[in-house]
Structure 1
């Protein structure tokens, strides 16, 4: 059939779209460099550089400073030693020559960074984290040694509205005998940014500063001896001990002569009860995102805590999402460093992942997103029904196309992760460009099946006859097309297996993807080798033309779904623009199928019109309206669902209320099915309301690194994922295809 040749070309078009996605991802990575042998690591969000300062060379008794200088992109920040309500401090792990001993980070004065209802402490713009190094008297580099090799492995969490866990390895060759004062200005500035001890009083007595616990939930702070330059000004207080005060609360402060006082609420989730609480005080920073130099000076005081600490509320047993994200990132880095020959995971774990992927692939055949391609394969079955050898070869070729495509897609996902991108299963459908390309692809398939055009009408005969000469390639590319439409779906057993690939060495992870492909192709492969299947099929005849035209409607339904997905990503204007472009594409195809002079004139006009449509409407396809990005839909609020945010579920659960999180995406057919059935069931809704369950929806339709990190912390890398967070207990992850009984049984145990 001529349509088979079209399937081959259509699959090729899909890989062109996938290539475009790859190039886009590489472009987003910018100039990122990681690995050994460099003192600079650059990511899309920060530039980190290892610096050293040894004015008198590396020698016993002489000053030596090392430090990591981080330059943030506008509006991005990293964290102080106490990150506040969320986040993690930067961690430095040194590998130094014998005789050199690195101390703790001399943390510069931070800024208070409000984020919604939370408050964090951290750094914007450029900050240097200096570390003093002690040179022992036994330091003996050798008479021929000129340099000391300094190695650093650093990890940091960089955040804006989303958070990205990052890390880098740095190497610096530090001259031993010569002066290295090149970075002196940077370290001098860092020294000025260090909080200074509170000055002693005029009589030489250290001022009496203290914190008195009052009413069980307030600290009355009193600090004496602050410099005259600060008196009368509004101050910020940064506690070095985490999880004691309510960082985001508004609190009162006043000056009584040289004494500064404040009434600071305690945190409802307080987990520390120090008897001596060091704090840093500084004049409030000007609003902004690190655009100008920070001229503030900070002062450090150790407060004696008087009174009895109230019984603090214990934190939720669930780790904060941001901490889980960093641990997941470290786990990925560790697995990437595992030698290929190593196990990386126990054989039982790998076996379970392979079996789960195989079963998930089998069930994937029942998902609606795969129906259009499987329907076309029915025609292929019928055509080869009387040729057993051709039937088997076709099955093997189709299986090879499916398995190799899943391996290629998995390798692309693992490669993007290794390059620092936060992606998960189905990531290609998060690109409006890929969604639009697939919509165009299935529109062309529908036009071909409907008989609007045949390739033989406007291609050279040598090209048009490729299908007859290469039926194996045709079956192979049909398998590729099956993966193109099946990849957004997640079937039962798939979720855990796909999530485990993040912790496996690359060869084992690719084996899991291969098992998934084998599961998808297995029914067709088995049927190709079972004679009874061939005998049960009807003989080729006129019915095949009717069936071919009937298949137009599943293809058009797929196009409708893809246009709806793009509408979720780019708004109603984007969906409308795509529909206009699809109409223009259909006009071009119809014009090229004409004969004689009509073809010349109509093709010329239609191609020119299509070029104009692309110029006018293509930008709307890939643009996301600002209003849509900033606000949630009214329907979500009306049904009780609220947008998910990093740490929100853990924070609500810590307050004693259970939380249900729906990790979903518009392009996920299973997600939409569960949303319209189980999650809309009256009994389920009533049970959720009875238990006062907070409902959060994490929409992964477009790429969101924070959601990717949250999925990784749950051992998943694709959607759907449904999670109940319970106060003081680990989260409960439900199956991908929800049932009413399963959800209600879980709610009953809350």
Structure 2
């Protein structure tokens, strides 16, 4: 039998392996904490609910200075901050475009009104014979009044109100991109919500003021309308105005028109649209100071406007059929609709089904290769306590707590960073070369400890060295933290759909899905500690444990090899070589710290000096961008091309079938699928026979375009495999394959072409 002091060395290694990952998880959570409070706090934070694209930052905000009370009205709205030269559209977009749409999901007793549209401005698209569109640039808030019914009731213990919004908009420069976002915002029922009071006040001032019709009217004169408007503010007299009809497809926005002042009356003659499809009895028109005229020239978005409902006199000429969208815009909208349909399988999941899938995915995660080294260590720890049932059960519970808290910390960090507009998914922490290098150093130290090069008590203060003996359950919990760190790059079957849904849910439901995933990972060991038959199968502690401990150092070193390989994909071969040298210096430093006397101090100083010089000189190579290297590797890999949204859309527009492999070097499942299926000669032959273009989207380093594409597919991590099929005769939704791929599944997917 081993003496107690010999056996405690094994569990001390757990403590060394746990403290580092715990610190990493805490750092991740704190990095997004300011934004994560938008999910977890009952008060509104400045971030609100945010969706970030390359063209705009959109945010759901609210204004309830008196709180939420029956019979009152408060405000919520979508704030759009456009990138330079991009614009979105007013309720009547003009010659082309689409208005922004807001679809609310509100608690019973809350009713949303219409958008209180701010006064728009005109955009000229094209140099000669330009199109004229109506809309907004820079920053605009689209406010909506929310009315609380008089019989509105609050559930016992309810302190806040949850607003959910599904928004869609078309954003254009010289090209147009349909975009959409889902938002969740919680505001307190009691107390003021007024962080965005200035924005709502500016939107109120920008909303056109109603002008009584009085003598104002419209006279139909052939193919023109003559507007006569009275009772406008006196300060507008003599100023040039812009006119925006609220009813679409009545006037021709890009045709020339005239205007004049006749004393207090403003008159204008505007041409009818050749494609006019409406013949209103009353035509609401918004008037603003023309751009470049008066005080309005200082503002890129119109700062004030006047709205008048003009009765129409005379008979309308015959109307034409409604105008259709341009082919390019229609194609973009069809592609967006196809992406939305492809995500239907995920978004249609019930919350209960998502929890079940997460639990099952966590169970299967125990079988993934990236988790096996840590699980072997855990089994060894169980064997140590096999004859002590109480300690065994407490150890299993502590391990489960460590796993659950770690998954919740990762979920909190992911949700918080996403709320800040980051495009992230499962395994996001390994997209950072800094994190990869830190994990490689951590696992190197763990491997050296398991191999017996040093013991924790040799270098730690006595009080810390005996921490495991005083708190063995903390040691078991930290082992759970380490298991999650190693498991996070893997995506097991059934996990993809559950994590994709979690990314779109409010915080409570999303974190529940992450918790179910953690419970699935810990469940086999939790069950083993409470089932006597399993405990009896564990061998008695003995000398074999010390031997097995040293054997486990080698899987840890293989994990280090894998992490260095991941860094090589991120930063190139020079970065990987630099990391290897630093790991050797780290191993030498650990060994030197076990020595005694002056040699220890002198060698430490030398190694620290050499390591500092080497890190300062060559360290930046570990964090350089190796995108060109990765692209050349992808291009030369059995006919695969580098994925981009433009390349995918161009191929689909040509009627080509496209297979996209969303992958990452840190995703172990991705590498297994690549070797067993995607590089299989018969699979590649089948792709070639059906003229399928192969695209590889490498997410090893963070890429917002890939993150957005995965979100459109209802996924939050890799691997994801998608077959885009030509439209014959109608558009077909992309076919999303399973996470664990097989040649047979690929062949069956190709048979649908």
1:729 counterpart (729, 732, 741): 732
The aligned counterpart of 2:11 is 4
Q: Indicate if the aligned counterparts of 1:68 and 1:128 stay in contact, CA closer than 8 A.
A: no
What is the 5 A alignment of 1:352-371?
352-371=353-372
The aligned counterpart of 2:22 is 15
The aligned counterpart of 1:283 is none
Distance 1:680 1:653, change over 3 A: same
Aligned mates of 2:431, 2:540 — CA distance in 1: 42
The aligned counterpart of 1:696 is 695
The aligned counterpart of 1:671 is 670
What is the 5 A alignment of 1:317-336?
319-321=334-336
Deviation, structure 1 residue 349: 1.4
Alignment length (residue pairs): 591
Cα-Cα RMSD: 5.4
Distance 1:72 1:574, change over 3 A: farther
Distance 1:467 1:524, change over 3 A: same
Aligned mates of 1:370, 1:78 — CA distance in 2: 48
Q: Indicate if the aligned counterparts of 1:38 and 1:172 stay in contact, CA closer than 8 A.
A: no
Deviation, structure 1 residue 682: 1.7
- What is the CA deviation profile of residues 353-399 of structure 1, one whole-angstrom value per residue up to 9, with x for unaligned ones? 11111111111111010011011112212211221211111111111
Asked if residue 108 in structure 1 is aligned to residue 123 in structure 2, the reply is yes
Asked if residue 749 in structure 1 is aligned to residue 748 in structure 2, the reply is no
Deviation, structure 1 residue 489: 0.5
Aligned mates of 1:536, 1:43 — CA distance in 2: 54
The aligned counterpart of 1:197 is 255
What is the 5 A alignment of 1:250-399?
319-321=334-336, 349-399=350-400
TM-score by length of 1: 0.66
- What is the CA deviation profile of residues 227-264 of structure 1, one whole-angstrom value per residue up to 9, with x for unaligned ones? xxxxxxxxxxxxx99xxxxxxxxxxxxxxxxxxxxxxx
Q: Indicate if the aligned counterparts of 2:52 and 2:422 stay in contact, CA closer than 8 A.
A: no
Q: Indicate if the aligned counterparts of 2:657 and 2:691 stay in contact, CA closer than 8 A.
A: yes
Aligned mates of 2:416, 2:385 — CA distance in 1: 39
Distance 1:319 1:561, change over 3 A: farther
Aligned mates of 2:599, 2:362 — CA distance in 1: 48
Distance 1:21 1:516, change over 3 A: closer
Q: Indicate if the aligned counterparts of 1:636 and 1:642 stay in contact, CA closer than 8 A.
A: yes
Q: Indicate if the aligned counterparts of 2:489 and 2:667 stay in contact, CA closer than 8 A.
A: yes
Aligned mates of 1:377, 1:369 — CA distance in 2: 14
Q: Indicate if the aligned counterparts of 2:370 and 2:668 stay in contact, CA closer than 8 A.
A: yes
Q: What is the SS of the residue equivalent to 1:701?
A: coil
The aligned counterpart of 1:686 is 685
What is the 5 A alignment of 1:535-684?
535-625=536-626, 627-628=628-629, 632-646=631-645, 648-684=647-683
Q: Indicate if the aligned counterparts of 1:2 and 1:467 stay in contact, CA closer than 8 A.
A: no
Deviation, structure 1 residue 533: 2.6
1:172 counterpart (175, 180, 201): 201
What is the 5 A alignment of 1:205-284?
none
Distance 1:414 1:581, change over 3 A: same
- What is the CA deviation profile of residues 432-491 of structure 1, one whole-angstrom value per residue up to 9, with x for unaligned ones? 111111111100101111111111212222211111111111111000100000011000
Distance 1:634 1:413, change over 3 A: closer
Deviation, structure 1 residue 190: 11
The aligned counterpart of 1:442 is 443
Aligned mates of 2:486, 2:241 — CA distance in 1: 54
Aligned mates of 1:39, 1:373 — CA distance in 2: 39
- What is the CA deviation profile of residues 318-356 of structure 1, one whole-angstrom value per residue up to 9, with x for unaligned ones? 943599589999xx9xxxxxxxxxxxx99x712211111
Deviation, structure 1 residue 157: 7.2
Q: What is the SS of the residue equivalent to 2:641?
A: strand
Aligned mates of 1:451, 1:400 — CA distance in 2: 29
Q: Indicate if the aligned counterparts of 1:316 and 1:653 stay in contact, CA closer than 8 A.
A: no
**Structure 1: stretches of 5+ with no match in the other structure:** 51-66, 113-119, 132-151, 212-239, 242-292, 294-303, 333-344
Q: What is the SS of the residue equivalent to 2:367?
A: coil
Deviation, structure 1 residue 542: 2.2
Q: Indicate if the aligned counterparts of 1:398 and 1:478 stay in contact, CA closer than 8 A.
A: yes
Deviation, structure 1 residue 207: 12
Q: What is the SS of the residue equivalent to 2:691?
A: coil
Distance 1:87 1:545, change over 3 A: farther
Aligned mates of 1:323, 1:731 — CA distance in 2: 7
Q: What is the SS of the residue equivalent to 1:463?
A: helix
The aligned counterpart of 2:743 is 740
Distance 1:607 1:190, change over 3 A: farther
Q: Indicate if the aligned counterparts of 2:663 and 2:697 stay in contact, CA closer than 8 A.
A: yes
Q: What is the SS of the residue equivalent to 1:722?
A: strand
Deviation, structure 1 residue 37: 9.4
The aligned counterpart of 2:499 is 498
**Structure 2: stretches of 5+ with no match in the other structure:** 1-7, 37-42, 61-76, 105-109, 143-164, 184-195, 210-234, 245-251, 259-268, 278-299, 301-318
TM-score by length of 2: 0.66
The aligned counterpart of 1:425 is 426
Aligned mates of 1:632, 1:77 — CA distance in 2: 30
The aligned counterpart of 2:223 is none
Q: What is the SS of the residue equivalent to 2:645?
A: coil
Aligned mates of 2:584, 2:98 — CA distance in 1: 51
Deviation, structure 1 residue 106: 3.9
Deviation, structure 1 residue 199: 7.3
Deviation, structure 1 residue 737: 0.3
Deviation, structure 1 residue 620: 2.5
Moved more, 392-401 or 97-106: 97-106
Deviation, structure 1 residue 642: 1.6
Q: Indicate if the aligned counterparts of 1:405 and 1:483 stay in contact, CA closer than 8 A.
A: yes
Q: What is the SS of the residue equivalent to 2:201?
A: strand
Q: What is the SS of the residue equivalent to 1:488?
A: coil
Aligned mates of 2:50, 2:136 — CA distance in 1: 16
Aligned mates of 1:97, 1:355 — CA distance in 2: 34
Q: What is the SS of the residue equivalent to 1:683?
A: helix
Aligned mates of 1:125, 1:448 — CA distance in 2: 62
The aligned counterpart of 1:59 is none
Q: Indicate if the aligned counterparts of 2:88 and 2:99 stay in contact, CA closer than 8 A.
A: yes
